[in-house]
Structure 1
Amino acid sequence: MIYPWSSNDELYDALLNRAADYDGRAFVGVTSTQIFCRLSCPARKPKRENCLFFETVGACMEAGFRPCKRCRPLESAAQADPLIARLLKALEALPGYRWSEADLVKMGLDLSTVRRRFKRQFGVTFLEMARLRRVQDGVETLARGGRVIDAQLDAGFDSASGFRTAFARLLGDPLSQFSNQSLLKADWIKTPLGPMIAVSDKRSLHLLEFFDRKALPNELKKLRKAVRGDLGFGRFDPIEQIQGELKAYFEGELCSFQTPLTFWGSPFTKSVWQELQRIPMGQTRSYSQMAALIGRPSAVRALARANGANQLAIIVPCHRVIGAGGDLTGYGGGLWRKQKLIDLEHRTMAAFDASLPTSHAT
């Protein structure tokens, strides 16, 4: 989201003018449709507040956007490179297929060549692109209330068995490995931004993440290792509490969370998470501001890593940290969610301020 050669306003002007000279250099993600386009796309132009700009196709897909079917932002690279064209055609033909390196070898392709060409053209490898497509298909189908074709998401978690199956696949363990007498229990919570996974013991919440977060499998494995205990299905009181609080939050009726939490991290990481919780709703901070607030002004990179390692999405509001220039920066749940969370909180605080009685001088 950093453009040394242009500003977001310049990019929006280019979008309005269908400037073809930006093709391959910048893309626009439209938050109201979750589609990304070339700036020269002939489709009806979105409102400025619904636009996020990216430098690569990979960044668009990682933020949860799907390629436009009118301007076909992947097509120029495919036309210039027969190898890319071949693999994109195969991806379109089998959108739900779990591609592996073995599949590429069977096609007679050199793995390093495929990896290098896709990374250069799109900012992601072919296998990463295929995974992102599966996740996007699953989330999109879930949002429509239908069956999810991604093997990680089963039937929109309308049943406990569907969730258990998807969760077991996520961890790579058979269902028999999950104990009903476990120290930790996991369940899903439906939200307007997609399903979230909550993990707690009897006293506190240990994890809250969007189910399609790329780092979720590793986070869950680290959590199991940290507590040295089994993980089961179901919910303790903290999950019930956070479900109610999230409902109120998304309805604009809650400004702070009270669910008890357990942090797993180094003292420095915990200090970052605690400072994140001090950012008032409706406000944002830059990474440099956060580093100064914890008394480590030179530790901006370390702070960014701690911010990204947060396992309690929304409650520990890492989405309130943005770039120094005001641009959105990386967010594990996708930049489109980060924008929606910030917008929601602005609306909530605006409504709260409007409800306060007006004071009059006497």
Structure 2
Amino acid sequence: MMFDLPDENALYAALINRDADFDGRAYVGVTSTGVFCRLTCPARKPKRENCRFFETVAACVEAGFRPCKRCHPTGTAAEADPMIVQLMQALQADPARRWGEAEVQALGLDPSTVRRSFKRHFGMTFLELARLTRLRTGAAGLPGGARVIDAQLEAGYDSPAAFRSAFARWMGMPPGRFAKDALLRADWIDTKLGVMIAVSDAHALHLLEFAERRALPGELKKLYTMSKGSLGFGRFAPTDQIETELEAFFDLRCARFETPLAPLGTPFSQQVWQALREIPAGQTSSYSDLARAMGRPDATRAVARANGANPIAIAIPCHRILGADGALTGYGGGLWRKQALIDLERQFGADTPQKRTIQW
């Protein structure tokens, strides 16, 4: 059990009341229609005897139910919150806008409610996300050779010092420290779970992280040191390849990642990361099971540390590791992403001949 859910009578009451507290934690399969839904689905409520309740999207699919076209239960839970949808659409329409609590209130929303909801779903507040979006919007031209001053203005920063300071907090170093014609090059990849930073050389991928992960600055500094300062903006063929493979992965066309990888880590960490890649998509494991599979049953804690230090998200699938009791454990990209990745991958194992699709 990933969560301690109440009995089915309580879940049915939550379905009738469209209780948002259970969004992403429980789903209902309706035997009379063959459809499964979020408990907050706006559709007419089914009779109690036609309801079956499940903890995950994967369990619904395995039981033979298909996703509802009204509440899109295979999308991330955040997409079911109208408040989040409204703000994300506003952010997408004007990514360089300066947001504050007054702007949130002007939309008729309560800042404290917005803060809690975004923190729960994304691991950061809306204002933090908006600031990161502004910064990323301005920095988007840097891999193509744009001047730092142009990036600053595009991001809406009046002060060069403020832009450089914000950039340094995000990437671990100011934009001027990134070299031209570098051996390692960093670029952005847009995915259905958010922006990722990819760093590769001409031969292999060294880093793939979600842009807001707190460990990102430290990981970039390690690569900067390892390359003796030869870290810049741009991309090589491995970044193009991983971008193509991520697109196929999120479209449920292929779960294999064949991009050459060169993560920076100790020999033991490298063994752990290789063992992670041997867990098939659609399956999960635990730290202790992984340690035993490596022939190191006494190294569970060391395996957990190496799992947490993984610098290549998704392609090295540390998200497939759960706690010994089946609970979601820490994930640098946020637990909501971990749940979404697990639910997505279990659909690769669905026994169906037609092309599998997922609604994001």
Could you list the runs of 5+ residues in structure 1 that have no partner in the other structure? 19-26, 33-41, 52-62, 71-90, 96-121, 139-147, 357-362
Stretches of 4+ moved more than 4 A in 1? 11-18, 42-51, 63-66, 91-95, 148-152, 155-169
| 1:167-186 equivalences in 2 (<5 Å) | 168-186=168-186
Alpha-carbon RMSD across the aligned residues, in angstroms, is: 4.3
Distance 1:11 1:228 in 2: 58
TM-superposed CA distance for 1:268, in Å, is 1.3
TM-superposed CA distance for 1:157, in Å, is 4.5
Q: 1:64 to 1:223 in 2, by over 3 A?
A: farther
Corresponding residue of 2:280: 280
Could you list the runs of 5+ residues in structure 2 that have no partner in the other structure? 15-20, 27-38, 44-52, 58-75, 84-99, 105-115, 156-162, 356-360
Check if 1:354 corresponds to 2:337: no
Corresponding residue of 2:339: 339
2:218 maps to amino acid: N
Check if 1:133 corresponds to 2:133: no
Instruction: Map Cα deviations across residues 141-174 of structure 1 (whole Å, 9 max, x no partner).
Output: xxxxxxx665544369488555997755523533
Check if 1:203 corresponds to 2:200: no
CA contact (8 A) 1:183 1:229 kept: no
| 1:1-362 equivalences in 2 (<5 Å) | 7-8=4-5, 10=6, 17=13, 30=24, 49=55, 132-134=124-126, 137-138=129-130, 152-154=135-137, 157=140, 168-350=168-350, 354=353
Q: 1:15 to 1:266 in 2, by over 3 A?
A: same
TM-superposed CA distance for 1:324, in Å, is 2.1
TM-superposed CA distance for 1:354, in Å, is 3.4
1:320 maps to amino acid: R
Distance 1:149 1:267 in 2: 34
Q: 1:302 to 1:172 in 2, by over 3 A?
A: closer
Identity %: 45
In the superposition, the TM-score normalised over structure 1's length comes to 0.60
Q: 1:235 to 1:44 in 2, by over 3 A?
A: closer
3-state SS, counterpart of residue 228 of structure 1? coil
Instruction: Map Cα deviations across residues 115-138 of structure 1 (whole Å, 9 max, x no partner).
Output: xxxxxxx9xxx9xxxx92157643
Distance 1:269 1:11 in 2: 42
Instruction: Map Cα deviations across residues 217-271 of structure 1 (whole Å, 9 max, x no partner).
Output: 1111122223323211100111011111111111111121111111211111111
3-state SS, counterpart of residue 248 of structure 1? helix
TM-superposed CA distance for 1:201, in Å, is 0.8
CA contact (8 A) 1:320 1:342 kept: yes
